[in-house]
Amino acid sequence: MLCPHCESPMEEDTLFCPNCGHRVVRDHTPKKRYGWWWLMPLFIFLLIAGTLTGCMLYEQSKTAAAIASFQKGETLAKKGDYQEAYQAFEQATKKRRNFAEANLDKTVVTLGLSIQKDFDQVDAFNKKKDYAKALTTLDESEQKLKGYKGDIVNNLKEAISNKRVNTMVQKLRLEMKSKKTIDELSSILEQAKALDVPEAHQIADEILKQIVELAYTKASNLLQQNQFSEALQAVTDGLNYDKNNKKLLDLQDTIKNAQDSFESAQEERIQQAMAAAEKERQHNKNDAVQLVSAKAKLNEYGDLVVSGKVKSDATVPITMIKVAYTLTDQDGKKFKSNEVYATPDTVNPGEEAQFEYTHMAVNKDLKLKVTGFTWYVDN
């Protein structure tokens, strides 16, 4: 320190100046000291605030990353990419261990991977036509999801349902090929209608066609034997499944007309037809019916469908046109002769009528030859 009188240097604790002897009066009042220590609380506050902010931002970034991984996993899972979805959910749970939704979805996609393996088994069973095991496997797959909910679970359930419908369609398609009666086809038809998918609708349509053909064939055979009531019942059996089927309705009219003719004036109608044929011999007796076309073709079930058209060259309406034909094999050996009524029942001059008959389970190509026609002339 310096002497306040002569400004000579003095020791800190000296009371008199060694140079001038001046007594130094000390001010013992505490002096304010200024330095950087007063900034320490501010530094500490800023340090704590910065640390907390950093930790918060870090945690927020971890949470955001975990949510992003979770959302990615959900998107992948909805697309059926369960393996990639599992990896995304795994990353989410690593970033946030208590991420309950991610843990749950990780379990669900694990089930999804298991169910995809089940689908591979189902495909293998379907390929072997072992549909019972395929359906059992799908039931077991559905049980795995019991107690779980959510969009991913709903997607898995929908995939199982689609797989089950596909299996049922294949099963029905196989079964329908082996059924040959209306009663047998009826149960398959009900199952097909219960499956609300286009493939099942197609099967239902095919079954209806088979039922109509069976009813038509049975009624036609009974009609040829003059068993009119039984023939009408056979047509009714078919109409119970397809009430507006024109082919059956036309046959029904033919049977009723034939029944009326047979019961009331069979001989008279024959005589009238013969008289009319004699009167207009060139047209109404010999050339009243002309063949337009005729063919015999196998369908996918091995049935031989005979069909064709005839035309009336008569001068008056004619009814109950019956077409006679013979089927022979490739060697010319006779397979069968048959007669079938053409529809509609009444044909006006110049109009055409169609005929069709299905020979069930023939399973080979045959040659068709139309051998003649019979008909009645309307009054």
Residues 156-196 pLDDT 10s = 888 888 888 888 888 877 777 777 788 888 877 787 777 77
**Predicted local confidence at residue 362, as pLDDT:** 92
Percentage of the residues of the chain whose pLDDT score is greater than 90: 28
Higher pLDDT among residues 338 and 177, named by residue: 338
Q: Which two tokens stand for residue 68?
A: 């992003």
**Predicted local confidence at residue 45, as pLDDT:** 63
Q: H or E segment at 334?
A: strand 334-341
**Predicted local confidence at residue 321, as pLDDT:** 94
Give residues with Cβ within 8 angstroms of 105, minimum separation 6.
Answer: 70, 73, 74, 77, 85, 89, 150, 152
CB atoms within 10 A of CB 355: 21
pLDDT one-digit tens code per residue, 252-295: 999 998 888 888 766 776 677 677 557 766 677 778 899 999 99
**Predicted local confidence at residue 131, as pLDDT:** 83
Kindly state the average pLDDT of the residues 98-105.
70
Q: Are 269 and 376 in contact (CB under 8 A)?
A: yes
**Predicted local confidence at residue 274, as pLDDT:** 72
Q: Which amino acid is it at 143?
A: Q
pLDDT mean across residues, the chain = 80
**Predicted local confidence at residue 7, as pLDDT:** 67
* 297 band by pLDDT with thresholds 50, 70 and 90: very high
Query: Considering only CA atoms, which of 214, 187, 209 is closest in space to residue 361?
Result: 214
**Predicted local confidence at residue 372, as pLDDT:** 93
**Predicted local confidence at residue 16, as pLDDT:** 60
Least confident window among 12-21, 99-108, 208-217, 341-350:
12-21
**Predicted local confidence at residue 355, as pLDDT:** 96
Q: DSSP letters along 150-178, please?
A: SHHHHHHHHHHHHHHHHHHHHHHHHHHHT
Give CA–CA dist 236/212, Å, rounded: 10
